[in-house]
Amino acid sequence: MTATATAADELPRGVPPSMVERITLILDAFPSRITRLTLEDITRLTGLPRSSAHRILDQLVRLRWLEHGATGYGLGSRAIGLGGGDQAHAAIRHAAAPLLHELALRTGMVVHLAVRSGAEVVYLDKVGGRFASAVPSRVGASAPGHCTALGKAMLAWLEPEAVDGLYPRTLGRRTERTIGSLGLFHRELDRVRRRGGLAFERGECFPHIACVATAVRGPDGPVASISLVGTDTTPLERVAPLAIDAARRVSGALLPEPVPFAPENSGVRRAIG
């Protein structure tokens, strides 16, 4: 009898012997981007032995198919980048849509909704009037997170070491104002945290376009961010409270219980203390 057959014989009845099938069982347990499952949840849903599930989960986290936080496991950047979490994206768009339109009407500005995929942001929605055509962004497109207020608002929640893992020491420039080094970008994220999660960008992604953004909070960090977009002469500080209020309301619609709104985990506090 081969070693493979012996290992398969040791599995409980009904558990597939193929590693690919077992990985698929685990990934299928996550119907959306905001789903959080504990190890116990996963073993119950998949029927996998605890030791096998834990071993596979460790590998999936290491390879970024899943992520692991204080409330359990969720889909990682690789799964989301391949289309995983579309149901959650639809839920976020649905919850945010009326507030995006309200923001656009109240301010006359373009409003973006985006999610993070690794080092980039992906636009989920864009609302605005005539000025919208002057902003070269489109739904479904991506942009480098380090040169957008949307990206800064979400990346500020990460531990500094996690940001290091996403970027090289020298960052790609979109304009002459784009932050060009990882060290300077860490300083920028510190400023975002000191402002309670409020991020600004002036001409860093598109010339003469300026944005203010804040994150939509999930159980283990941001699930999206909302930005108001104007020109580089727009007084963004005046409209920033409207973006903060909208993000809070979207978070409230997505989560059953209130959560801390600004990035305040201990690692972040150490980084800025």
Closest residue by Cα to residue 211 from 202, 219, 223: 202
Residues in contact with 166: Cβ distance below 8 Å, sequence separation at least 6, in sequence order: 118, 119, 145, 155, 158
User: What pLDDT band is residue 4 in, cutting at 50, 70 and 90?
Assistant: very low
Domains annotated for the chain, with CATH where assigned, are 3-81 (1.10.10.10), 86-272 (3.30.450.40)
Amino acid at 114: A
Q: Using CA atoms, how far apart are residues 134 and 180, in angstroms rounded to an integer?
A: 25
Four-residue CA torsion sign, 84, 85, 89, 90? positive
Alpha helix ranges (H) inside 118-226: 149-155, 160-166, 182-194
Say whether pTM exceeds 0.85.
no
* CA–CA gap between residue 149 and residue 198 (Å, rounded): 8
Distance CA 265, CA 267 (A): 6
Q: In terms of residues, how long is the chain? A: 273
61-65, 226-230, 259-263: which has the minimum mean pLDDT? 259-263
Residue 33, Cα to own-chain centre: how many angstroms? 9
- Work out the end-to-end distance of the chain between its first and last CA atoms, rounded to an integer number of angstroms: 60
Examine the pLDDT at 10 and tell me if it is beyond 90: no
Mean pLDDT of 127-148: 86
Q: Are 148 and 121 in contact (CB under 8 A)?
A: yes
CB 218 within 8 A of CB 248: no
Q: What 8-state DSSP symbol labels residue 193?
A: H
Q: Of 82 and 88, which is predicted with more confidence? A: 88
Count Cα neighbours of 80 within 13 Å in the Cβ-side half-sphere.
Answer: 27
Contact 123/145 with Cβ under 8 angstroms?
no
50-59, 145-154, 251-260: the lowest-pLDDT one: 251-260
